[in-house]
Chains A and B, each alone.
Chain A
Amino acid sequence: MADAHLRVFRGGPGEEDRFDEFDVPVEEGMVVLDALHWIQGHVAPDLAVRWNCKAAKCGSCSAEVDGRPSLTCKTRLSDFDLDQPITVEPMRAFPLIRDLVTDVSWNYEVNKTIAPFTPPTDVPQEDWRWQQQDIERVQEYRKCIECFLCQDVCHVLRNHETAKPFMGPRFLVRTAGLEMHPIDQADRREYLKHSGGIGYCNITKCCTEVCPEHIKITDNAIIPLKERVADKYYDPIQWVWSKVRGGGSGSSKAGVELPVLQGAPPADQAPD
């Protein structure tokens, strides 16, 4: 079979940013990550690539292939015109570490600000009974493999609109999985509105398009959460009720501030 031609972003501390080009022999069924491994094993042993399972289950090998945020382990070379070069770049939303590897630690810091699963204190666990259809709703959110491609493609994060503190689609999905768990007791609506910045999502659905787990992020996670937040703050009956009850239970972590996503994407780095 013919070779594939890859243009791979290279760069890191003390190095000039550039694209290196590689000709990679193609085998049947090969994916972009196979090609990157071939390059490491035969031409450029120090090419930095983050990966683990190579089975689309761990979400480590995220990159931008011909401009599209993708898991390189499930992006087949046969989907491309091999007469043209295939360009592989790191995710642009996150600070560069080296080559195709970015610093995604911001996501882990955001995650810490979400109130954890809060079971009821008055129902013993042996009495918990949930129907399969109730749990399937939550299972959709919990399918997330944390590849952060949705964060990468989201314009608020990608364009570093840092005036808008925004948790991003990944953590709206995680919050939806907690809020809609059949027995979770915490109320994260104030957090979503004031800390998580749910209002900054203008439902362009880019996140849904890139999700390798096919989670309907916008329709099934973000919009229902927006509705819940709207109910709390803008529904007069709920507003009166909350005054009577004196607020929801467990509205913990409402006042937290999100960390700021640092760093500009490599291709946008202005010369000083």
Chain B
Amino acid sequence: MTFASATNAPQAPQVRPHDVLVVGAGGAGLRAAIEAKAAGADVGLVCKSLLGKAHTVMAEGGVAAALGHVAPTDSWQTHFRDTMVGGKLLNNPRMAELHATEAPDRVRELEFWGAAFDRTTDGRILQRPFGGHSHPRLAHVGDRTGLEMIRTLQDRAVAMGIVVYMECTISRLITSGAGVSGAVGYWRTTGQPIVFPARAVVLATGGIGKAYEITSNSWEYSGDGQALAYEAGAELIDMEFVQFHPTGMVWPPGVRGLLVTEAVRGEGGILRNNDGKRFMWDYLPEDRREEYAATDEEAATWVSALSESKQTDARRPPELSTRDNVARAIYTEVREGRGSPHGGVFLDISYLPPETVRRKLPSMYEQFKELADVDITTGPMEVGPTTHYVMGGIRVDAETGATRVAGLFAAGEVAGGMHGANRLGGNSLSDLLVFGARTGAAAAAHAAANGEAYVDPVQVRRATADLVAPLERTDGEDPYAIARDLQDTMQRLVGIFRVESDLDEALVQLAALRERWRSVRAIGDRTYNPGWHLVFEVDHLLTISEAITRSARWRTESRGAHSRLDFPGTDDEGWGRVNTLIVRGDDGTMTVSLMSLPDMTPELRALLGSSGH
């Protein structure tokens, strides 16, 4: 690698054409790149960080697939049903069907590529229970499943010779009359602009967590793909549905929001308030209560059967309710004064033998010991909700991941539809494998069927000029200050519980932040300048924050992860039949509309059984 001069003078961009350009090298991007390469396409894979550092690496608990190794009665049909019920039936049913039917093959494929999953006593891939899953379904490697997955995919991609552009950020998609024709970005290391002419572009950039102050997400999660697609004319759906994971660390301050895996509850972790009360009993939704244990004793029987790998008729503990429900319960306990000293609740796994805790939850054990001086084998953790995942995203075709912009595809968290109003734990890792593979294949086919990409020089020059503008300003605001104020606005006004007056106020504040952003100034030069990089991330965060807020204001009901204090009821007859849709209007303003849910085949509807409307 060579490094360009450090001056801020205009630089001619590098040009690197590919058949398929994949943006993002987490699980979805890697899986898409592998599939496109296997289909014969020349693939370029671009990532903001070093290869192998993407957010997938932080996934802990497991990947959901109805392999039936632990519960032989599990099937794709029950996985489909759990996913739809968890998503409050707002999911795209065809995506949920493809996901449930193809996830087992995608997991076995990882094993074939070298992944070392934990084993059952008869030597097959072990599966663990998780919230909202009716059967033990999550293939896992202790509590570092994401690391195993990303390393396996990374090794596969390297072995296939896929070209990887590390520490390279895409700032703009290039379009022509025929659809998307490439992308413009810059090397983070040198600041040099780079143009990627491409016949097909796959967005796999992940989520939006950095719009919030308290989040389990890293700096990379700045809504890049959602914003790029929106600017290019694609639609965003379900953006009001942001998942607040129930258990993030709450102390010390520097790690507030850091994820505490749901596997703690999957292995038997109990939630208590400061009165010592196991409060989840009070928050189980009435229509699902029969799926959960009735007493502490029944829950304990379930946990000991699990740890001894035995079948049991005992039902699962109340802590394994869906994430939206557990997050609201914890938030409510804290708000009503029953929280822990640092503003969370207690999560206790210390009643299990210490060696079991260390073997099943090694990275949680380390994380609390090293960062919070807490030994989770001897005492409880303090936990509270943290922004974790966005169910909404770019609207895509279920089969191919295609957006409405020709040649533009999306897979993984950046795409919407699969998870409806609430995602089940473990379903994101399977999502990115299933739809990463499908999207990679479709992008390769699109590239093969289309001629060379025409890259409009006007758009390229405009995009590269936009890159240097913040460095050339001699006066202007600090991007860090705008980012902090944005995160404060979203955390306070568009959080777990929402109300119209807050959402209106948020829109006013977001507009003011956008004005401040227009004169943002980056100090320093182009070489690895994080303040300068933040300028473009804040741009994307402002766009998706507006989309989240407008969609949240539009949906006047409570459903899944979207809770309106002014509309606490769920309206199945009205809102239960529509997705919100965000598009960029002809005048450049953001507009919200509604779209009927995709049709569900009678066969799929029958699978929902009594849990339908």
Contact = CB atoms under 8 A, between A and B. Distances in A.
B151 interface: yes
Interface stretch (A95-103, A194-202, A222-230): A95-103
A46 B119 contact: no
Contacts of A139: 116, 141-142
Contact of B119 (A98, A105, A131, A142): A131
A151 B242 CA distance: 40
Contacts of B484: 41
A130 B5 CA distance: 54
Contacts of A64: none
Given A27-B253, A111-B158, A13 B532 contact: no
Contacts of A132: 118-119, 121, 126
B120 to A, nearest CB: 8
Contact of B6 (A14, A105, A128, A146): A14
A34 B254 CA distance: 6
A130 B113 contact: no
A7 interface: no
B527 to A, nearest CB: 5
Contact of B531 (A34, A46, A104): A46
Interface in B103-124: 108, 111-114, 116-119, 121-124
Contacts of A145: 57, 147
B119 A13 contact: no
Contact of B53 (A42, A49, A52): A52
Contact of A129 (B50, B124, B220, B528): B124
Nearest to A15: B6
A58 interface: yes
Nearest to A60: B53
Contacts of A146: 50, 52-53
Nearest to B56: A58
Nearest to B109: A125
Contacts of A138: 116
A12 B530 contact: no
Given A29-B253, A116-B159, A129-B122, A57 B6 contact: no
B300 interface: no
A45 B524 contact: yes
A46 B529 contact: yes
Given A27-B253, A30-B253, A56 B53 contact: no
Interface in A84-114: 97-99, 101, 103-105, 108, 111-112
Interface in B350-389: 363, 366-367, 370-372
Interface string B526-543: 011111101000000000
B183 interface: no
A178 interface: yes
B5 A13 contact: yes
Interface string B160-195: 000010100000000000000000000001000000
Given A41-B480, A45-B523, A108-B51, A31 B531 contact: no
Nearest to A29: B252
A31 B123 CA distance: 41
A97 B167 CA distance: 12
B116 to A, nearest CB: 5
Interface residues of A, dominant DSSP: loop
For A31, A55, A130, which residue has the most chain B Cβ atoms within 10 angstroms?
A55
B176 to A, nearest CB: 33
A18 interface: no
Given A117-B113, A129-B124, A138-B116, A49 B218 contact: no
B231 interface: no
A135 B530 contact: no
Nearest to B113: A117
A48 interface: yes
Interface string B31-66: 000000000000000000111111101100000000
Q: Considering residues A45, A116, A138, A178, which has the most beta carbons from chain B within 10 angstroms of its beta carbon? A: A45
Contact of A13 (B123, B124, B164, B527): B527
Contacts of B119: 130-132, 135
A99 B108 CA distance: 43
A51 interface: yes
Interface string A174-190: 00011001001000000
A52 B220 contact: yes
Contacts of B522: 45-46
A59 B218 CA distance: 13
A58 B53 contact: yes
A52 B49 CA distance: 8
A128 B480 contact: no
A12 to B, nearest CB: 5
Contacts of A14: 5-7
B58 A74 contact: no
Contact of A108 (B49, B124, B166, B363): B166
B510 interface: no
Contacts of A31: 254, 371
Contact of B3 (A97, A117, A181): A97
A198 to B, nearest CB: 20
Given A27-B254, A34-B254, A48 B366 contact: no
Contacts of A45: 478-480, 522-524, 530-531, 534
A119 B144 CA distance: 23
A47 interface: yes
Contacts of B6: 12-15
Interface in B532-569: 532, 534
B123 A117 contact: no
Interface in A17-45: 27-31, 34, 40-42, 45
B547 to A, nearest CB: 25
A12 B219 contact: no
B252 A27 contact: yes
Contacts of B254: 27, 29-31, 34
B233 to A, nearest CB: 31
A205 interface: no
Contacts of B148: 142
A164 interface: no
Given A45-B480, A46-B524, A53-B218, A105 B529 contact: no
B138 interface: no
Given A48-B528, A57-B144, A128-B111, A29 B123 contact: no
A55 B58 contact: yes
A104 B117 CA distance: 29
25 contacts: A13-B3, A14-B5, A14-B7, A27-B252, A28-B251, A31-B371, A34-B254, A40-B531, A45-B478, A45-B523, A45-B534, A54-B218, A55-B58, A76-B371, A97-B189, A108-B51, A112-B158, A116-B159, A117-B114, A125-B111, A128-B123, A139-B116, A139-B141, A146-B52, A178-B114
Interface of B: 1, 3, 5-7, 49-55, 57-58, 108, 111-114, 116-119, 121-124, 126, 141-142, 144, 147-148, 151, 155-156, 158-159, 164, 166, 189, 218-220, 251-255, 258-259, 363, 366-367, 370-372, 478-480, 484, 522-525, 527-532, 534
Please name the 3 residue pairs, one residue from A and one from B, whose CB atoms are nearest each other, closest first: A29-B252, A46-B524, A129-B123
Interface of A: 12-15, 27-31, 34, 40-42, 45-60, 74, 76, 97-99, 101, 103-105, 108, 111-112, 116-117, 119, 125, 128-132, 135, 138-139, 142-143, 145-146, 177-178, 181, 184
